[in-house]
Each structure stands twice: as C-alpha cells, then as structure tokens.
C-alpha cells in the first residue's frame, strides 16, 4: 500500500511567487493534516481536515496561506505571495480516524529566495 504522497519534494522559488504543495493521503484515511517544520519553531500543525472539511485552521500563519481538500484523495496547500520566512519542510499526514496514529508523507522542502 502506498503511503502518503507529496509533491514536489523540493521547491525553490523567489519571493512573491505563488507556491502550491500537493498531498495524496493514504486511501481510506479520512483525516488529513498539514504541518510545517523549521529549526526555530519545530513541528507546527497548520490545518487539518476531517472528511474533507477543514476542522481547525488556527495554525495557518496568515492570509497568504490557504488549504483545500476538494476530495478524499487530494489536498493542496498554497502560499501566495511567498516570503523567505516561509522556507521550511512542509509535511502532510493522514490518519484513519481523528484520534489514530498519523502517517507522514516524505515532505516538501521549500526554499523561498
């Protein structure tokens, strides 16, 4: 069974550009989570969905960030416009139920110049 799939694995962009990160959760999982990891701030929960519905987006840093989950097998995290301080590794994770263990994707390493 394929795990959580994220694309791209690496993204280098210039300040002001739009960035879209993609995630395909494990088939059958109904909860999806977006995290950001930096040395300074550690592993932060940005937003999570349950049955494709956003439940908690209080971790989204600001309006430049948006996330969607149009169906059970796909989610996007968009940053527009991007800034150098957005540079981080972004992880997507999914779980079968809200309270179960989370399976993390390999992450997208974003560098904003």
Partner 1 sequence: QQPVQSPQAVILREGEDAVINCSSSKALYSVHWYRQKHGEAPVFLMILLKGGEQKGHDKISASFNEKKQQSSLYLTASQLSYSGTYFCGTVLSGGYNKLIFGAGTRLAVHP
> Which residues are at the interface with partner 1 (CB under 8 A)?
31, 33, 42-45, 48, 50, 55-56, 91, 95, 98-107
CB of 107 to partner 1, least distance (A): 6
Residue number with CB closer to partner 1 (25 or 105): 105
Residue pair 100/33 in contact (Cβ under 8 Å)? The answer is no
Nearest one of 63, 29, 58, 64 to 46, comparing CA atoms: 58
Residue number with CB closer to partner 1 (82 or 102): 102
**Beta-carbon-side half-sphere exposure of residue 38 (alpha carbons within 13 Å):** 12
Tell the burial category of 82 from Cβ atoms under 10 Å away from its Cβ (0-12, 13-18, 19+).
Answer: buried
CB of 40 to partner 1, least distance (A): 10
Residue number with CB closer to partner 1 (56 or 83): 56
């Amino acid at each position: 069974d394929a795990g959580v799939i994220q694309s791209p694995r690496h993204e280098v962009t210039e300040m002001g550009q739009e960035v879209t990160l993609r995630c395909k959760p494990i088939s059958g999982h109904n909860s999806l989570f977006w995290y950001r990891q930096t040395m300074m701030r550690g592993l932060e929960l940005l937003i999570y969905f349950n049955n494709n519905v956003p439940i908690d987006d209080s971790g989204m840093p600001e309006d430049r960030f948006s996330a969607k989950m149009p169906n059970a097998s796909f989610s996007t995290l968009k940053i527009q416009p991007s800034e150098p301080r957005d540079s981080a590794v972004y992880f997507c994770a999914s779980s079968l139920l809200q309270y179960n263990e989370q399976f993390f994707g390999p992450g997208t390493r974003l560098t904003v110049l």
